[in-house]
């Protein structure tokens, strides 16, 4: 029977999903969390190692003679030494597309947290501020309608496409910048330059991969050409943003606000410059993790491992 080990199963299933479909694949051992020093001992007998964020290095592979398949339970696979895996004939697979709807939904949840301030006004009501008002309506902060505003996307993959659709449904104009332009069937999505995205958008949402070219794409130079009423939303990768530059822009009211689900270091340290800024909303990397998305993720992981067992691997990244 094939032996499998899942090194960090907690992120996928904290208790609200059923492991049965994975358990049917073979002899499965699940660990909630694994430190780098524990990987070899826990994986020494496994043919298949499942990991979301636990790195598998060349040194580790050298100590795992039974390893044949690394199943990355996420889209990003930079935690794996792909060159070493190729040399050793270890198949590396990933999963993608499982969280597109969830991330698109959370993108607008962050935006609405900034423009509608539902939580702020709920707290004001609970504190008795509305009750003390002389009027039937009570506004604690500036509120902003999205109709007619310009949504600028950096990246137009599966998630970016869905964010664009929601923006169009709200009556927004949608502009997109991507390094390698490709035609979209939606004629309402306009491809523009990176400068135009930053200078003309009322909302900028990041949906591009993290590369040497996109790292720190939100920086002082680009922030300086944004509208003072504009918002930055990041549900992509934390390192797309130069956090010191963004913190400075927010504190100095260079832009209206930021909604972030990802940071450069997760969990953040207490020194992260974006913490405790009034016009910055931060959620703890949860956009991908809605239950329905994790259920889809579980199914895709099973599909990858079944395809490997049948000798016809899919979603191979190496």
Q: Is 24 a catalytic residue?
A: no
Residue 315 lies in a domain: no
Residue 317 lies in a domain: no
CATH number at residue 173: 3.40.50.720
Q: Which of 83, 145, 266, 292 is catalytic?
A: 266
Q: Are residues 206 and 192 in the same domain?
A: yes
Angle value at C-alpha 63, between 315 and 307, nearest 5 degrees:
20
Q: What is the pLDDT of residue 32?
A: 97
Q: Are residues 194 and 107 in the same domain?
A: yes
Residue 219 lies in a domain: yes
Q: What are the strands, taking DSSP E only, across the chain?
A: 3-6, 27-30, 48-51, 69-72, 91-93, 150-154, 173-177, 189-191, 203-206, 231-234, 257-260, 280-282
Question: What phi and psi values does residue 94 have, to the nearest 5 degrees?
Answer: -135, 180
Q: pLDDT tens digit string along 70-93?
A: 999 999 899 999 999 999 999 999
Q: Are residues 191 and 118 in the same domain?
A: yes
Q: Are residues 158 and 31 in the same domain?
A: no
Residue 178 lies in a domain: yes
Q: What is the pLDDT of residue 183?
A: 63
Q: Give the span between the Cα atoms of 217 and 223, in whole angstroms.
A: 10
Q: Give the span between the Cα atoms of 304 and 17, in whole angstroms.
A: 19
Residues of the chain with pLDDT under 50: none
Q: Which of 237, 243, 294, 296 is catalytic?
A: 237
Q: Are residues 105 and 94 in the same domain?
A: no
Residue 316 lies in a domain: no
Q: Give the span between the Cα atoms of 61 and 50, in whole angstroms.
A: 14
Residue 8 lies in a domain: yes
Residue 106 lies in a domain: yes
Which residues make Cβ contacts (< 8 Å) with residue 39, sequence separation at least 6?
Answer: 7, 54, 56, 60
Q: Which of 173, 178, 285, 295 is catalytic?
A: 285
Q: What is the pLDDT of residue 263?
A: 98
Q: Are residues 252 and 263 in the same domain?
A: yes
Q: How many CB atoms lie within 10 A of CB 125?
A: 13
Q: Is 266 a catalytic residue?
A: yes
Say how many domains are in the chain.
Answer: 2
Q: Concatenated DSSP letters for 238-305?
A: GGGB-HHHHHHHHHTTSSSEEEES--SSSSPPTT-TTTT-TTEEE--S-TT--HHHHHHHHHHHHHHH
The pTM for the full model equals: 0.91
For residue 128, give its domain range. Answer: 100-282
Q: Are residues 234 and 124 in the same domain?
A: yes
Q: Give the span between the Cα atoms of 221 and 198, in whole angstroms.
A: 10
Q: Give the span between the Cα atoms of 127 and 179, in whole angstroms.
A: 48
Extract the tokens encoding 169: 């449904």
Q: What is the DSSP letter of 201?
A: -
Residue 224 lies in a domain: yes
- Tell me the CA distances in angstroms from 46 to 21, 43, 306, one per residue in order: 18, 5, 16
Q: Give the span between the Cα atoms of 240 and 210, in whole angstroms.
A: 6
Extract the tokens encoding 222: 């680009």
Q: What is the pLDDT of residue 260?
A: 98
Q: Are residues 191 and 256 in the same domain?
A: yes
Q: Are residues 210 and 150 in the same domain?
A: yes
Q: Are residues 109 and 42 in the same domain?
A: no
Q: Are residues 91 and 9 in the same domain?
A: yes
Q: Are residues 58 and 113 in the same domain?
A: no
Q: Is 86 a catalytic residue?
A: no
């Amino acid at each position: 029977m094939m032996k499998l080990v899942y090194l960090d199963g907690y992120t996928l299933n904290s208790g609200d999903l059923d492991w049965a479909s994975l358990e049917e694949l073979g002899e499965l051992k699940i660990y909630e969390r694994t430190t780098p020093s524990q990987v070899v001992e826990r994986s020494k007998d496994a043919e298949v190692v499942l990991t979301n964020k636990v790195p598998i290095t060349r040194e580790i592979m050298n100590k795992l003679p039974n390893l044949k398949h690394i199943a990355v339970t996420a889209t990003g696979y930079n935690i794996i030494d792909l060159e070493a895996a190729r040399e050793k004939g270890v198949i590396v697979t990933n999963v993608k597309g499982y969280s597109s709807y969830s991330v698109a939904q959370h993108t607008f949840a962050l935006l609405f947290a900034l423009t509608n301030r539902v939580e702020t006004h709920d707290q004001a009501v609970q504190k008795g501020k509305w009750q003390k008002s002389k009027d039937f309506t009570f506004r604690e902060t500036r509120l902003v309608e999205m109709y007619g505003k310009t949504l600028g996307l950096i990246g137009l993959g599966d998630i970016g496409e869905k964010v664009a659709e929601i923006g169009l449904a709200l009556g927004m104009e949608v502009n997109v910048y991507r390094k390698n332009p490709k035609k979209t069937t939606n004629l309402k999505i306009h491809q523009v330059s990176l400068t135009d995205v930053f200078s003309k958008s009322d909302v900028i949402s990041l949906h591009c991969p993290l590369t040497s070219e996109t790292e720190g794409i939100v920086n002082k130079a680009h922030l300086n050409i944004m509208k003072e009423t504009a918002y930055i939303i990041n549900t992509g990768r934390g390192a797309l943003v130069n956090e010191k530059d963004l913190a400075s822009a927010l504190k100095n009211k260079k832009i209206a606000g930021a909604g972030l689900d990802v940071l450069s270091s997760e969990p953040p340290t207490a020194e992260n410059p974006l913490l405790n800024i009034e016009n910055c909303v931060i959620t703890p990397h949860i956009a991908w993790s809605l239950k329905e998305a994790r259920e889809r993720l579980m199914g895709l992981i099973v599909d990858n491992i079944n395809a490997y067992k049948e000798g016809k691997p899919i979603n191979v990244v190496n």
